[in-house]
Amino acid sequence: AIWSIVQKNSYPKTVGVAEPWYPLIGNGLLFLGQNDLKKFQNLEKIFSAAQEDLFRLYLGPKIIFFTTDVNMAQKIMTNPICMERPYMYDFFKLNEGLFAAKFHHWKGQRKALNPAFNMKILESFVPIFCNATKNMLQRLDAIPARETINIMEYLSRCTLEMTCATTFEFDVNDFPKVDELLDYMERFFYYGAKRMLKFQYHQDFIYRWTQDYREQTSVRKFLDAYGVQLYNNAHERYTKGLLTNDQTEDDNNEGFRKPQLFVNQIFTNTLRKFDREEIIHNIFTIVGAGTDTSATEVSYTLLQLAMYPGYQQKVYEEIMDIFPETEPHITPESLKRLQYTEMVLNECLRLYPVAPNLLRENTEDITLCGARIPKGSMFGISTYSIHRRKDIWGPDADRFDPERFSPKRSAGRHPFAFLTFSGGSRNCVGARYAMISMKIMLLYLLKRYRFKTKIREEDMRFRFEAVLRLDGGHLVQIEKRQ
């Protein structure tokens, strides 16, 4: 107890402390015994009350130096000595993949995999995105009129189909238990995020005795068996010379490029050799990072449009104006013309950032706000709070207003004011992939249906999970357009 008091007072006042704070447990009372809803609310209360650019949150003896300030966020996220992933990312057990990898490991991987998300490759994915969306429409068509559905369930199945098909040419519709697979993936990430806020579970030797550990392990076993099967299959194709990195156009089909699947990129990478473990972890990373995220953001967007029929009509009119055909010709270029739709999407990405908090670690001592912070410390950037700062977004920052992203109002905005895809070189590698696929989903969905909801913006409550989860789900009714 004495040591924790000494530790608390060893920093200057410029680096505040979240309250309530107690010796030994630090800010633990904000989370101990609280449900996921309350945990989220308590964190947000602290963040919105923060006066200092940098303040400390104590999970027991562990400190996280949090910020809700854009300049501080930029300082941390662009500093090469703050690119490390803290130990908490180990809880996801994907350390050999891009998302959770330690800095020395990550650097070479990221350089080698950046080209796997270039525009030419993304363009070759467009038919896959369209097909997955059309399959979703078929499932939605079967829903009786005026029935309330959680649209997220349909969207996550659709994005799983997209990520599996673009990662390793796997059609999830051939898999007899797709819903089980989705459920397992969601649960796997859920346990990782839950463990982050349970500091008493941070030590492996304690966690190993918990029910959560047993459940996370059984979920992982299921997913691992699956990952190994996929790896073996891809490896066999690779040894037979069937995985190539060929990006030339198909002679018989003008303008058509064979989709350059992620697995091809990784097996045939000329910049770096990936071993078996790295390939399996990266496959899980891409499918994991690309499925729930895009589905969540499109769900929030549809819900928001259902709340505001005027905005929905405006997006619909833009879509019909640019893509009036039943079978529109879609390219990343033509999607760029959906400017109002993009403003709406960005506004939803601002209000509902899928990762409400980002974490980093420093590999060398650093001085911030006059305090010397030793290497190996943890930093937290609250994107959710930055996105709702009234000094940046105006007094109505909590309100949905797509005009905030008009070119005029965006001009001069701080580059770290909008962090849904994170910032600095450890940002989201799939951001363009996500934007293209999300626009395609919105395009088809809004062309076909009108969305309605009984949910009101002020009633929305969030749960602390791996992604920003809406309590009660994204409940909407769909009405087929004539």
List residues near ligand HEM by CB under 6 A: 98-99, 110, 163, 285-286, 289-290, 293-294, 297, 354-355, 358, 420-422, 426, 428-430, 433-434
User: DSSP letter string over 43-91?
Assistant: HHHHHHH--SSEEEEEETTEEEEEE--HHHHHHHHT-GGG-BPPGGGGG
Positive or negative torsion for Cα 129, 130, 132, 136? positive
Q: Is the peptide bond preceding residue 259 cis, with omega within 30 degrees of 0?
A: no
Smallest separation, CB 88 to ligand HEM (Å): 11
CB-wise, 42 or 357, nearer to ligand HEM? 357
Smallest separation, CB 118 to ligand HEM (Å): 13
CB-wise, 216 or 301, nearer to ligand HEM? 301
User: Beta 378-382 vs 62-67: how paired, if at all?
Assistant: parallel
Q: Which is nearest to 164 in space by CA: 174, 156, 172? A: 172
Smallest separation, CB 435 to ligand HEM (Å): 8
Which amino acid, one-letter code, is at 347?
E
CB-wise, 384 or 451, nearer to ligand HEM? 384
Q: List all residues 6 or more positions away from 187 whose beta carbon is below 8 Å from its beta carbon.
A: 215, 216, 219
Smallest separation, CB 290 to ligand HEM (Å): 3
Could you give the CA distance from residue 64 to residue 80 in angstroms, rounded to a whole number?
19
CB-wise, 297 or 401, nearer to ligand HEM? 297
Helical pair 211-239 and 276-307, crossing angle rounded to 10 deg: 110
Q: Which long-range contacts (CB under 8 A, 24 or more apart) does 181-188 make?
A: 181/226, 182/156, 182/157, 182/291, 184/219, 184/222, 184/223, 185/160, 185/223, 185/287, 185/288, 185/291, 185/292, 186/156, 186/292, 187/215, 187/216, 187/219, 188/92, 188/216, 188/219, 188/220, 188/223, 188/288
Smallest separation, CB 469 to ligand HEM (Å): 14
Instruction: Give me the residue whose beta carbon is nearest to ligand HEM.
Output: 430
Q: List all residues 6 or more positions away from 164 whose beta carbon is below 8 Å from its beta carbon.
A: 170, 171, 172, 287
Could you give the CA distance from residue 224 to residue 227 in angstroms, rounded to a whole number?
5
User: DSSP letter string over 165-208?
Assistant: HHHH---GGGSTTHHHHHHHHHHHHHHHHHHHH-GGG-SHHHHT
CB-wise, 50 or 354, nearer to ligand HEM? 354
Smallest separation, CB 21 to ligand HEM (Å): 26
CB-wise, 27 or 299, nearer to ligand HEM? 299
CB-wise, 194 or 426, nearer to ligand HEM? 426
CB-wise, 25 or 298, nearer to ligand HEM? 298
Smallest separation, CB 4 to ligand HEM (Å): 28
CB-wise, 120 or 214, nearer to ligand HEM? 120
Smallest separation, CB 294 to ligand HEM (Å): 4
Smallest separation, CB 185 to ligand HEM (Å): 14
Residue 465's CB: how many other CB atoms inside 10 A?
Answer: 18
Smallest separation, CB 429 to ligand HEM (Å): 5
